[in-house]
Amino acid sequence: ESIGVDLARHTFGAWHDERLVGATYVVHVASETRHEMCYVFGAVIPEFRARGIGRRLFSDGVAAAERLLQASTSPVPKFVRTETWQTNSAAMRLYERAGLRPARYFADLRRNLVDVPKPLTIEGVRIVPWNVARNDEAREVKNLAFLDHWGSVPMSHEWWKSHTTGIGSRLDLSFFAVNPDDKIVGYLFSRRFPNDDSLLGGKYAWVDNIGTLAQWRGRGIATQLITAALHAYRDDGLEHAAINVDSENPTGAYRLYESLGFSRWRETVVHWREVSAG
């Protein structure tokens, strides 16, 4: 069972005879700061769409999310949240019928690994391989680095462990940036999903999460981390690197990624709705 998912109570399926044709699940991200969220995710296989199955599944998921949030004693605002590709107009209509509204746009960027930038050297900063023994230190850096990022809440020890060691994790392609005192001041966490290669038309690595402490920004650390990752991806026989970014990222990350050869690939739209107290 995944962190934040109660399989018995918060997953819903649609069956045709013995075949699962649609499913929805709810991920509860408990938080005492900023806001608390329940994500509602789901899908219906193509030949069973436009029959009301997705509407029923999503309705069940939203209802479960509302119950979870209304039962929470956290004093922060609470939201039901979901997302879809910007091209999926049917899903967006479904979300809006349920009272969720567009809140933010995110873009997937990608680049090939044929001609990667040279590794960058910064005085006083070293790039070192990810060390799982320092996972909690990296978590603290992540939480601080994302304080000014929209929709982000601090990750608990359990969430971060699940995130960095779970499905797709490639810690061998992940890195820390450390200062002269060997303290982590930035990090880059990579993921790899080989089963997606045939759908995407190539071997992709994902920069799943990257962050730099605010007081260390503006020195090129993110560039240093990304160039290290690009070389590692290429040396591992991969063909493309991809990254997801908030279109309104406050750190200027979008421009940075473009300067490193990434270009817009596809966009997602986040929808959400605030849930009143129970």
Closest C-alpha to 218, from 253, 242, 262, 246: 253
Task: Give the tens place of pLDDT for each residue, 19-71.
Answer: 999 999 999 998 888 899 999 999 999 999 999 999 999 999 999 999 999 99
Kindly provide the b/e burial profile for residues 145-171, where b requires at least 16 CB atoms within 10 angstroms of the residue's own CB.
bbeeeebbbbbbeebbbbbbeeeebbb
Q: Which residue has the tokens 């994902």?
A: 206
What is the reported pTM? 0.91
Mean pLDDT score across all residues of the chain? 94
Q: What are the residue ranges of helices labelled H in the chain?
A: 53-71, 89-97, 135-145, 157-165, 197-200, 221-235, 253-259
Q: Which residue has the tokens 């001609």?
A: 115
What is the pLDDT, as a whole number, of residue 278?
62
Task: Give the tens place of pLDDT for each residue, 89-98.
Answer: 999 999 999 9
Q: Where in the chain is the domain with CATH 3.40.630.30?
A: 11-104, 118-260
User: CATH number for the 118-260 domain, one of 3.40.50.10420, 1.20.1630.10, 3.40.630.30, 1.10.3720.10?
Assistant: 3.40.630.30
- Average pLDDT for 265-278: 91
Q: In the chain, what is the greatest distance between 2 CA atoms, to the nearest angstrom?
A: 64
What is the pLDDT, as a whole number, of residue 2?
65
Provide the token pair at 168. Answer: 């797709």
What is the pLDDT, as a whole number, of residue 151?
81
Kindly provide the b/e burial profile for residues 16-37, where b requires at least 16 CB atoms within 10 angstroms of the residue's own CB.
eeeeebbbbbbbbbebeeebbb
Task: Give the tens place of pLDDT for each residue, 98-132.
Answer: 999 999 999 999 999 999 999 889 999 999 999 99
Q: What's the rounded Cα separation, in Å, for the pair 9 and 114?
A: 47
Q: What is the CATH number of domain 11-104?
A: 3.40.630.30
Q: Does 150 have pLDDT greater than 90?
A: no
